[in-house]
A and B are shown apart, each in its own frame.
Chain A
Amino acid sequence: MTTGASSQSLWQRVTAPLSSGPTAYAFLAFYVLICSFLLLTNPRTELSTDIVFVLFMLSMLVAYRARVATWFKVVLGVIALGIVLPYFGTLNPFYIDVATQAGIFTALALGLNVVVGFAGLLDLGYVAFFAVGAYAWGIFSTTQISNINPAWGPVDPVMFYPFLIIGLILGLITGVLLGLPVLRLRGDYLAIVTLGFGEVIRVVANNLDRPINITNGSQGIRDIERPPLVLVDLVRNLGVVADDNRLYQLFFYYLVLIIVLLTVIVVARLKNSRIGRAWEAIREDEVAAVAQGIPRVRMKLLAFAIGASFAGVMGVVFASKQLFINPPTFDLLRSINILAMVILGGMGSIPGAMLGAIIVTMLDLQILPRLASVLREAQAAGAPIPRQFDPTQYQRLFFGLLLVIMMIFRPEGLWPDERRREEQHEVEITDEELEADKLTKPTGAETGR
């Protein structure tokens, strides 16, 4: 760790032995083992399971951060995410759904991170690209398609896989079409235009049931096809007794896991590539970057389109997993939600975006409902809590507070990107800290990837 602030030294003293050397191996193995054991022995949906589940998800990030051999991380990841979590999912389907949802949002946050974090373009209508992918699969896999041309029927469910690519291309095209006119503009205009675009897509989806019923308007599209299950017999032979719905949960879990892995690889490669450095240069100082010969508009467009294409793919998966989509699914709050993930984790930081996605999804699906039930109990016991107050209904308040507090106290996020942190705290880095930074840099470089 190159964070040189003295206030963190105690924390460092505790964590340093645990994050490197042989103790790290033991610690991580023990951590994952304990969490898995706790999860598998008590699969009921309750507060303690929630906490263990969050800790379990965090174990992956701790492992990622620790200085242990890559093979160990991979083995740990495969065991935890590939075996323990799905098996736990067969015991308690709620959590596997949470994990899948977290995965979908992780991919979205990673995509938005390319736009906001790497290239510094604030996109407030990111969910529009998500909607494009979702509606593409929703329309083509249901009888909606017959409304466009009676001769066309729904496509075969197997077409789901090619449609992942089509979703990607659609996202890409939409991103380029929107980006081309607006990327010449200053950053804050871009934010408003993308916000407007997000609203436009939602309004169009809401109203495109006339003259031709394409999107089925505000009623949304139901009975969206799922791809045929693969390896059903194999799984059944393994002794897993489950109906199709359970199997689909597992299927989508693995699908999302694979997509997230691919996304992480692509994004990480991009970040360290020539393109990634060009983005960073543009983000830091546009004028200087142009003077260095970086094609500004083309690079911004690329970031915009890449971010949009991730959303397009996830839209297809999301529509297929949810079986039902309607315009309110893709409202502004969803865009803000994804933005909050990126900002919470740290703009420009890949593990940060993942951490943010996991925390925000947990907050949404587990912690707020849990808080609501706690409040209801307290209220039943006579505590002075307004009857109408239901924390699950006040996501905006929570996300708003999150954004403001993060911006004021920690604009670089929970898990900052190294260079980003230096930029945000430009003024505060004293000479002393720079010295400390220089001293610790060599160790950082050794373990850096």
Chain B
Amino acid sequence: MAVDATVAPAAARRSLGELLGVVFGPVGQLLAFIVGSAASLSLIVILLALVFSPGQPDIMQRVVIILPQVIIDGLVRGFLFATIALGYTMVYGVLEFINFAHGEVFMIGGVVGATVSFLLVSAGAMDSIPPLVFVLLVVLVAMAFCGMLAVTVERIAYRPLRGAPRLVPLISAIGMSLILQDFARLVMTNSPLGFNARYQTPDFGQPIQLFSMQVGERSVPVILGPRDLIFIITATLMLIVLNYIVNVTKLGKAIRATAQDMPTASLMGIDVNRIIALTFLIGGALGGAAGALFGLRIGTVNPYMGLIPGLKAFTAAVLGGIGNITGAMVGGVVLGFLEAFVAAYLSIFTGGNFSGAAYADIAAFSILILLLIFRPSGLLGEATTQKV
């Protein structure tokens, strides 16, 4: 693994401009990928509609009407995968190990969020609390809880296995994921939450109408739900903060050093165990925040909701180039768009024979398989020199 240029000693004194570049550069990259993938997928869909239009004259209209909403949906899905993928990619960067239980950390984040909201409702404080304070409260509690949980899991199930053959910690992680699922179920079904816990929120207000689109005679409004907006903003903020931590602070330098070469890092006076625990803490906190926000968006949480998003987030991490933080975000967004487009358009183009929602999962995994065959290093593969 080549050494990242920014790790050079001179990096200690970086100008403000450089610093901003390091912290906000990835956001620009992410934006480029968002625009790029949305545009190219829209183009593909419109071209397909053109191909089909001789047979079905109204297909173009049907495609165009839902297009903006599909893009927004893709963006939200993408940010969901991206925030979970960050946890996978950080742990993979340091330990080269797939933290299988990360999807469950995400799920527990949702459950913690639902618990907080339940407590607020039963205290009668739900109506008086401002929505933004509620979001902040839920996210922070979920982050704290899930960060601690991830560290505990690492301490119990992974640390004793460090240095064992590769399969051993992976199997332990799978076991941990099953334990967390059923433990959450045990707690939820024996508490007032129930298996499908309701996730009540204060009123976030009306959806925002971005603009209205003129299709033929009809005017189609394009709306963005406030919850979706919260999700996107929070995820972007988390990316920026994470980039700051990893690329600017001393802790980040220690994490990068550990990821590059663990024995050497420990020779340089870095407490490797502490750094690994911190990596789990950060990854777990991000996963927990994603879970709390996801539950808030869909309104219910259940103990088995972590598996599939977890798998897709892993796909996203691989798609972006595993071990690369910006890659995880980019991969998540690209995967989210792909999935949203498949879910929305598959049934239109196959005349309703294949339900898009059901085959969207298959699309995600097919992408994973194809990607691993043709480009195992991921979209930002070249940039994987920086491993965290």
Chain A residues with CB under 8 Å of chain B are 116, 120, 122, 124, 181-182, 184-185, 187-189, 191-193, 195-197, 199-200, 203-204, 206-207, 210-211, 332, 336, 339, 343, 347, 386-389, 394, 396-397, 399-404, 407-408, 411, 423-424, 427
Contact = CB atoms under 8 A, between A and B. Distances in A.
Interface string B129-168: 0000000000000000000000000001100110111111
Residue of B167, B180, B181, B364 ringed by the most chain A CB atoms within 10 A: B167
A173 to B, nearest CB: 17
Contacts, number: 141
Contacts of A191: 98, 170
Contacts of A188: 97-98, 166, 170
A181 B176 CA distance: 29
B365 A181 contact: no
Given A204-B362, A388-B189, 17 more contacts: A122-B170, A182-B373, A187-B166, A193-B368, A196-B315, A199-B308, A203-B362, A207-B358, A210-B354, A394-B182, A394-B185, A400-B176, A401-B179, A402-B175, A403-B178, A404-B179, A424-B164
Residue of B165, B169, B190 ringed by the most chain A CB atoms within 10 A: B165
B237 interface: no
B174 interface: yes
* Majority-rule SS of B interface residues: helix
A336 B174 contact: yes
Contacts of A396: 178-179, 181-182
A189 B350 CA distance: 32
* Majority-rule SS of A interface residues: helix
Given A403-B175, A408-B172, A397 B362 contact: no
Nearest to B178: A400
A104 to B, nearest CB: 22
A347 B156 CA distance: 23
Interface of B: 97-98, 156-157, 160-161, 163-172, 174-183, 185-186, 189-190, 307-308, 311, 314-315, 318, 350, 353-355, 358-359, 361-362, 364-366, 368-369, 372-373, 376
A396 B169 CA distance: 18
B251 to A, nearest CB: 27
A182 B369 contact: yes
22 contacts: A181-B372, A185-B372, A188-B166, A192-B311, A192-B315, A193-B365, A193-B372, A195-B311, A196-B364, A199-B311, A207-B358, A211-B354, A389-B186, A396-B182, A400-B177, A400-B179, A400-B182, A403-B171, A408-B161, A408-B172, A423-B165, A427-B163
Nearest to B92: A188
Nearest to B365: A196
B161 A199 contact: no
A407 B169 contact: yes
Contacts of B368: 192-193, 196
